[in-house]
Amino acid sequence: MKYQEILKARIIPPHLLPLIQKAGQNNVPILIQGETGVGKEQVAKIIHQWAEKPRRFYRIDCKMVKENSLLHHLSSLLRTGRSWETPITLFLKEIEYLGPVDQSKLLELMEEDLLSYPGGRKGVVENVRWIASSSDDLRAKVAQGNFSRDLFDRLSALFIYIPPLRDRNEDIPILARHLLLYFANRMNLKNKEISDNVVSLLKRYWWPGNLKELEAVILRSAILSEGECVTEKDLYFSADGEGNSFCAFLRRGEIKDPLELNDDPYVSEQRTLLLLTELIHRIKNPLVSIKTFTQLLQEKFNDEQYRESFYEVVSEDIDKIDSFLNGLTEYVKINTPLPKRNTVHQILEEILSQYEGIFRAKEIRVVKRFKKDLPETMVPDEPLRYIFHSLLQYVVPSIPTSGTLGFLTRVSSLKRGRRETSFCVSGKEFIEILIIFKGLKKPVALAEIAFGISPSRDGDTLEFELRLIHEILKKHHGAIDFEVREKELKTLIFLTLPIERRRAVYYHSIHA
């Protein structure tokens, strides 16, 4: 996307444009800070393109730089000597990942314009514009001793903070409409409008992935939408079968106005947390502006000592407030319950993915017929993982090459069982999982295990694990059953899991 388009689309917050323009007209080192996905590299490219003299743009992703190998990357880009055909802009992406040795060597290069080579030889480097970015708070890393203070001071001659998308609520409609037009022009898609309901949904979402996540949602919806306008159903349709946070947001039905929610204690708590989040954002927005103008105001003071004291005092107070708000944001995050959805399917898919190599080697075809919106089960996640993993360990070796392994999930009112230990309960519903495969897997031994009878022989670890599965299910009021079709050389295993009647929730990790 050309930088003129970026400016027009408000991809960069408007209040930052004077600072970015000033950065482009100078050659001082620049540090761009902000969460992943906010557009730090786009800002770096705008600064690069705004320069008065033409330059080449090079990028080094510091996350990919191994310890003590930065000079190797730089030597392939920087030509030594005093004569340059074209100056360059060197963008150091995610500089917080540089190790101590590389930080030291980068500082030497920036201070002395000397690039050290193996064997002690050094070459002069000129006409380099340094731009670095960080997704972490480098000031905090400096305070913790994890990043060089001297290098931080050298890099941040001009500091640009890009706020997360959730703090730019008023820009989201403009961004969404511009992205629709951009993708229509670039990918041969029909240009579409966007409904007010969709705009309302987009403005209420947290956007942990920032601009990158918004771009993915808009592109996917534009492709799947069949009308002249992207509507709510296009967002929901694109969310089927996915497990990201935006899809979870849609599934839990956060389309009501927080002020219109009922008096349910759970909903009331949600409303309080939403309002608290909004308050945090309202405080953070002016802080960003204050910090930006504080940087610009430094140049207005003739007294150097007063200038430095002014910036230090104001920045320190802003950082304290910002740190407090970040802590409050994390508190809100870990105390906002999110309803669990399709946990059985997610865990089963997770376990199946671990067997993909075996399936490919034996050319086993896996068929899945999953009931949409399967309820949650009382069986906890880890025991459920153990059950699926142990069953696959037991089943897969019996499936012949080019065989088929099938899974079916449904809700049933009948709890299967042939003995009192696996009782039937009328009037209640259960989750039923059918596993069917071609091959006969010791039906007698399986029957003994399924019904709690001691196996006829010892020593088979997998059969012992099946007995443990039976005990787990029995503990949680579930059951395991089987059916062998000898003429068809097929074995069917039935798992019945009790449905969870309470509200099942999980919580965001603050490290996610």
Sign of CA dihedral 268, 269, 270, 274: positive
Residue 412 is predicted with a pLDDT of: 84
Question: Per-residue pLDDT for 21 more than 80?
Answer: yes
Q: Tell me the per-residue pLDDT of 169-187, one tens digit each, with 9 for 90 and over.
A: 888 998 999 888 888 888 8
Domain 3-163 sits in CATH at 3.40.50.300
**% of the chain exceeding 90 in pLDDT:** 21
Residue listed under structure tokens 């050309």:
2
Query: Which residues are paired to 369 by β-bridges?
Result: 408
Residue 223 CB partners (closer than 8 Å, separation 6+): 189
Distance CA 218, CA 225 (A): 10
What's the gap between Cα 82 and its chain centre?
Answer: 45
Q: Tell me the per-residue pLDDT of 24-49, one tens digit each, with 9 for 90 and over.
A: 888 899 999 998 899 999 899 999 98
**Contact yes or no for 225/231 (Cβ under 8 A):** yes
Residue listed under structure tokens 């007698």:
444
**CB neighbour burial string for 98-115, b if at least 16 within 10 angstroms, e if fewer:** beeebbebbbbbbeeeeb
Note the pTM of the prediction, 2 decimals: 0.51
Question: Per-residue pLDDT for 268 more than 80?
Answer: no
User: Could you tell me the pLDDT band of residue 258, with boundaries at 50, 70 and 90?
Assistant: very low
Average confidence score pLDDT of the chain: 78
User: Could you tell me the pLDDT band of residue 147, with boundaries at 50, 70 and 90?
Assistant: very high
Q: Which CATH number does the domain 167-255 belong to among 1.10.8.60, 3.40.190.10, 1.50.10.10, 1.20.1440.60?
A: 1.10.8.60
Mean pLDDT of 83-105: 86
Residue 489 CB partners (closer than 8 Å, separation 6+): 438, 439, 440
Question: Per-residue pLDDT for 283 more than 80?
Answer: no
Distance CA 32, CA 19 (A): 12
Q: What angle do CA 420, 426, 429 make, to 5 degrees?
A: 105
Is the domain 343-498 a CATH 1.20.120.1200 member? no
> What ranges do the domains of the chain cover?
3-163, 167-255, 260-339, 343-498
